[in-house]
Amino acid sequence: MTAPVRHFLRDDDITVEEQEAVLVAAERLARDPRAGAGLLSGTAIGLYFEKHSLRTRVSSEVAASRLGAHPVQLRREELQLARGETLEDSARVLAGYLGLLMGRVYDHATLSALAAPGTLPVVNGLSDRFHPLQVLADLLTMRMEWGADLRERTLAYVGDGNNVAASLLLGGAMAGLRVVVAAPSGYAPDGGVVAEAMAIAATTGGDVAVTEDASEAADGADVLYTDVWTSMGMEGEEETRRDAFAGFRLDAGLVARARPDVVVLHCLPAHRGEEIAADVIDGPHSRVFAQAHNRLPATAALFLMLCDAAAFRELSA
Ligand code: CP
Ligand code: NVA
């Protein structure tokens, strides 16, 4: 019997142990990009985009090609999907050509429908609900800063309780972090996700908290993290959001409340002067470009795990 097809639509689609193994493999690839050469040769990886992207678009294509897989870029408007072919039929057909499909979508349900036939591994390259590939790179960045054991570290996320915050809650709890999300009223993370993250944290020694007080969240934090106030697909809400998030800017005041060696992260793209002050993103605590660069080995490790379990085991040993 062949093993069932695995997906990575949200952080907890893999186990705590598998996340750790992905990070081990990713760190190895970060330090020696040639370590993955040719491991997926003969495979093709589809990269499907409904929305804009710089990091995910380029790092996933380069990750595939470094592994020896052929990357195939797919834009929704060029496919029969845009003319009414179903997601399920499209996935069944693509399974005959591809070893894996990564998708960046507006609606998370699109990924679930692509995954439903169970014939092709589907990876979330950002949906309205989660951004799990991003959080693998974030954890890799912390790991390269402090070593593998992230327990006892506090990550304070300040801003919109959105897709990135949801994945930080799940993936962070899986890594044993204490994750505190500070968001204004009406923009808190999904209650179901918070409860799931709390349940995970109870098994890993991590912790999860949600507050409306950005200063309180920043107190003694090891990591300060933020994301844009207006995510893709919400452009009509820009003005309302600018008002709602006015007290949630990652600025020098918040940095001063955190630990003296605090690391500042942002998934990017950033809007200097809006969700993050220019002197913070460009300052000595910022690791945002290392974090962006870590998207490449983190994605390569995850692709390898889903496409070739034996090669992945060897790389993560
Ligand atoms: N952080 C991130 O996913 O960036 P892109 O939107 O440029 O892919
Ligand atoms: N929350 C942002 C993340 C971009 C990488 C968005 O969804 O647009």
Nearest alpha carbon, ligand 2 atom 7: 231
pLDDT at 308: 96
Q: Do domains 11-130+295-316 and 135-293 have the same CATH topology?
A: yes
**Residue 112 beta carbon below 6 angstroms from any ligand 1 atom:** no
- Give mean pLDDT, residues 2-25: 95
**CATH of the domain spanning 11-130+295-316:** 3.40.50.1370
With vertex at residue 129, the alpha carbon angle to CA 236 and CA 289, rounded to the nearest 5 degrees, is: 85
Q: Is residue 103 within 8 Å of residue 111, measured between CB atoms?
A: yes
pLDDT for residue 2 is more than 80: no
Ligand nearest the Cα atom of residue 133: 1
| Third-level CATH fold of 135-293 | Rossmann fold (3.40.50)
CB of 268 within 6 A of ligand 1: the answer is yes
Collapsing DSSP to helix, strand or coil, 231 comes out as: coil
pLDDT surpasses 80 at 3? no
Question: Is the CB of residue 56 below 6 angstroms from any atom belonging to ligand 2?
Answer: no
Q: 210 with 141: CB under 8 angstroms?
A: no
Q: pLDDT digit string (tens) for 247-283?
A: 999 999 999 999 999 999 999 999 999 999 999 999 9
Residue 1 has what pLDDT?
Answer: 60
Residues 298-314 have pLDDT tens digits of 999 999 999 999 999 99
Q: What are the sequence ranges of the domains in the chain? A: 11-130+295-316, 135-293
Encoded tokens for 188: 């808190």
Distance of CA 231 from the midpoint of ligand 2 (Å): 5
CA 163 to ligand 2: nearest atom: 1
Q: Half-sphere exposure of residue 97, counting CA atoms within 13 Å on the CB side?
A: 12
Q: How confident is the model over 77-87, as pLDDT tens digits?
A: 999 999 999 99
Mean pLDDT across the chain: 97
